[in-house]
Structure 1
Amino acid sequence: MNNPTKEEIGRILKSSKRIAVVGLSDQPHRTSYMVSKAMQDAGYEVIPVNPTIDEALGVKAVASLKDIKEPVDIVNVFRRSEFLPEVAEEFLEIDAPVFWAQQGIYHEEAKRLIEENDKVAIMDLCIKVAHAMTKTH
């Protein structure tokens, strides 16, 4: 599995402003909440994408990526690996450049689909850890 280099990831994080978080929980003890809160605190706009909640981190949730009206820079995914192809297909229907699957989440077919469509796929990497390593924003 090849993710972009640390430098490329740093550039992606530096140039990004809005992150749609698929599977963001409204429960503060969940990893998706803690990671997204850290990104929000670092200055990113976080949009919760989860049909089972009303809001998270003070932001109204949307049911799907297609419900987001404004441009998205990164789609950060907190769903089990077997759901990645489905999320990747929805990702390709919006005009976001970067698909980012969190630590422990990886799917070869989804990665290939994303890259065949000239988008960036980052998998099995925590965005919060990457942000801390590259010290952007």
Structure 2
Amino acid sequence: MDDRFADEGVIKRLLEKSGTWAFVGLGDDPHRTVYDQARLLQARGKRIIPVHPAAKTVLNEPGYASLAEVPAKVDVVGVYRRSEYAGQAVDEAITAGAGGVWLPLGVIDEAAAQRALDAGLDVVMDRCPGVEWALRRS
């Protein structure tokens, strides 16, 4: 993977300028990485939206079964699915009109990331929002 999906300016913009993050794969299991990342960004002032087939309330926010069901404008879609399923979530983010997509560490789908770039979305891939946040605050 090349660095076009780890642009420092894009990372900074998504972390600092965004307000609403939808987390695809966010369920109510506090032992999952997605739960930790959503809780961290929520504590930093971001509105989080759980997107999971079970559509449960997570971190006091109502959940939705798909991005298409989210009634709010989404700035960033965090794709916490295995790489082989990431493309579908990225395509849904494009259709939903999200401003950006963030694929965390180990979630890599260059073709999907390129589709998002081509559609005008900001893209970060194979980076951890929590680590990137800490790097900018230290």
TM-score norm. by structure 1 comes to 0.92
The answer on whether the counterparts of 2:79 and 2:90 sit within 8 Å (CA) in structure 1 is no
Q: Secondary structure at the match of 1:43?
A: coil
- Picking from 13, 35, 38, the partner of 2:37 is 35
User: Structure 2 CA distance, aligned partners of 1:53 and 1:18?
Assistant: 17
Q: Deviations over 1:94-130 (max 9, x none)?
A: 1111110111100111011111112111111111111
Q: What residue is the counterpart of 1:8 in the other structure?
A: 10
Q: What residue is the counterpart of 1:54 in the other structure?
A: 56
| Aligned ranges 1:23-102 → 2 under 5 Å | 23-102=25-104
Q: Secondary structure at the match of 2:92?
A: helix
Cα offset, 1:53, TM superposition: 4.2
User: Structure 2 CA distance, aligned partners of 1:32 and 1:130?
Assistant: 15
Q: Deviations over 1:26-75 (max 9, x none)?
A: 11111111111111111110000001241111111100111111111100
User: Structure 1 CA distance, aligned partners of 2:123 and 2:10?
Assistant: 12
User: Structure 2 CA distance, aligned partners of 1:85 and 1:15?
Assistant: 25
List structure 1 segments (4+ residues) > 6 angstroms apart after TM superposition.
none
Q: Quick one: percent identity of the two aligned structures? A: 32
What residue ranges of structure 2 are gaps of 5+ in the alignment? none
TM-score norm. by structure 2 comes to 0.91
Shifted more, 51-60 versus 90-99: the winner is 51-60
The answer on whether the counterparts of 2:10 and 2:123 sit within 8 Å (CA) in structure 1 is no
User: Structure 1 CA distance, aligned partners of 2:55 and 2:93?
Assistant: 20
What residue ranges of structure 1 are gaps of 5+ in the alignment? none
Cα offset, 1:89, TM superposition: 1.4
The answer on whether the counterparts of 1:75 and 1:96 sit within 8 Å (CA) in structure 2 is yes
- Picking from 117, 123, 136, the partner of 2:119 is 117
Q: CA RMSD in A?
A: 1.5
The answer on whether the counterparts of 1:81 and 1:107 sit within 8 Å (CA) in structure 2 is yes
